[in-house]
Structure 1
Amino acid sequence: MTVEWIRAGLKHTGKTRSGLAKALGRSPSAVTDLLNGHRRLRADEIAIVAEYLGIEPPRLLGGGDRIVPKAPLIGNVGAGAVAHFYADGQGPFDEVDAPIDAKPTTVAVQIRGHSLGALFDNWLVFYDDIRNPPDESLVGRMCVCGLSDGRVLIKSVKRSPNTGLWNLLSNTEAPIYDVGLEWAAPVREMRPR
């Protein structure tokens, strides 16, 4: 994804690179690297940048007559960023345009309400529905998380000091400390529907 929309957003809103760095939890030099093309914007950072600037990011679509792959919409995310999945046999399930780098396992949930921030009402969250136990590669990333108590949440994952447990963070909700995770899948992309 090109970063021209970020440059234009900074100019249009008068917001600063240092403010953007703070919103992303990164150093100002990391934002400079991003804007100079030396670092790529992660999928979970797109939403943070869009919220900071108060604008929608560009949609990722190819050109020409390319066939856009579809991903099943398998549920929605409501209050507290808890995912509610559609029951088996409830269908027909909706399908939405999948991310460019989608895999056959890529699925989507739709955000309903302001659980992830007011800007994200009706946004789609894409992830690969592979339910692997969490590992160090997910630390600091926004993930769809399956908790040991059966809840499914969209949160940023941090390792707990307590062995085998995790801390889950978000911008709008209180942190959830020391929870067991059965599985976690990184958010592949977020975009407005």
Structure 2
Amino acid sequence: MLEDPYKKWVIENLEKPGKSQTGLAKALGLHPSAINKVVSGKRQLKSHEVAGAAAYFGEAAPGGEEVKPSSAKWVPARKVGIVAAGLFREVDEFDQSEPEEITVPRDENFPNARQLTFEVEGDSMNELRPRPILPGDTVVATAYEDIAHRVVLRDGMVVVVQRTRDAGHMREWSVKQIEIYEDRTEFHPRSSNPKHKPIVVQRQFDADDGVAVEVIGVVRMVLNTMPGF
């Protein structure tokens, strides 16, 4: 493998105060081991990751005058996992596998924000209007962390909600629709199945049952592949 032309640039910028491999990995939506591989020369930064790294470092990449918004009509989206209401899964903190990606249409409003995809399990959104989200669908979401400074959560938004418990060792991802009230925010399923209940968060996103609640993505598209013959 040819040496990554950005390797030296990455190493130098990681030595700056406040910068770290973990921070860079989070900014790029990667496992920290991927950045370690870049630093050790075992992996090259992909073109879209260079722009993300430049934004994290606050410095243009070598050979580029400035970080420019993406103009591509299609962009890579990281396959994050499965959204399934009511199902907490154990978090694998030692998973060092490279994240899978698919290609999706660019978010015209936020061209440099990360795109995330989730596979849908269960019937918790099978009565969403105007279009239900069904088992087997793939939801495409814009990473909320990347747009939180520009987007205020509001009534009717469909989002991917993360709930964690047991000090973060167990995690649930689910799709919900937001209802905002003066003293609370509610994340509602839209389902024909009465077992699915809303998540109610009083005032700030502070759960009172030992469960942490966080919006991690704003759903902007639902994909479905027809079964083959």
Question: Which is higher, the Rg of structure 1 or of structure 2?
Answer: 2
**More helix, by proportion:** 1
TM-score, normalised with respect to structure 1: 0.50
TM-score, normalised with respect to structure 2: 0.43
